[in-house]
Amino acid sequence: MWETTKIRGDLRTLIWDGDLSVLPWWKAWLIRAVQICYVVVRDVADGQLTLRAMSLVYTTLLALVPLLAVSFSVLKGFGVHNEIEPLLLKFLSPLGEKGVEISSRIIGFVDNIKAGVLGTMGLAFLLYMVISLIQKVEAAFNYTWRVKRSRPLTQKFSDYLSVILIGPVLVFTALGITATLTSTAMVQKLVAIEPFGSALQIASRLMPYLLIITAFTFFYIFVPNKKVRFTSALIGGTTAGIIWEITGWGFASFVATSTKYTAIYSGFAILIVFMLWVYVSWLILLVGANIAYYHQHPEALVPQRQSLSLSNRLKEKLSLLVMFMVGKNYYHKLPDWSLDDLAQQLHVPADLLEPIIQALENNRILASTATEPPTYLPGRPLDTTEIKEVLDAVRTANEILTSNFNDLPAEFVVDQVITDVEQAVARELQGLTIKDFAMAEHPAVDLISQTPLEQKASTDESH
pTM above 0.85, yes or no: no
For residue 386, the cross-strand partners are 433
pLDDT (0 to 100) of residue 234:
94
CA distances to 143, 157, 287 from 53, rounded to whole Å, are 12, 24, 10
**pLDDT(229) > 80:** yes
User: Which residues are CB-contacts of 352 (< 8 A; sequence separation ≥ 6)?
Assistant: 308, 309, 310
Q: What is the CA radius of gyration of the chain?
A: 28
DSSP 386: B
Average pLDDT over residues 443-449: 43
Give me the mean pLDDT over the 216-233 stretch. Answer: 89
Q: Where in the chain is the domain with CATH 1.10.10.10?
A: 311-461
- Cross-strand pairs, 368: 376
Establish whether the linkage from the previous residue to 224 is cis, with ω within 30° of 0: no
Q: What is the pLDDT averaged over residues 216-232?
A: 88
Q: At residue 173, does pLDDT exceed 50? A: yes
How crowded is residue 191: how many other Cβ atoms within 10 Å of its Cβ?
Answer: 16
Mean pLDDT, to the nearest integer, of 115-120? 56
Question: In which order are the strands placed within the sheet that holds 337-338?
Answer: 337-338, 375-378, 366-368
Q: Which of 7-16, 152-161, 387-396 has the lowest mean pLDDT?
A: 7-16
Model confidence at 48, pLDDT cuts 50, 70, 90, reads confident
| Pairing state between β 366-368 and 375-378 | antiparallel
Q: Yes or no: is domain 311-461 CATH 3.90.1300.10?
A: no
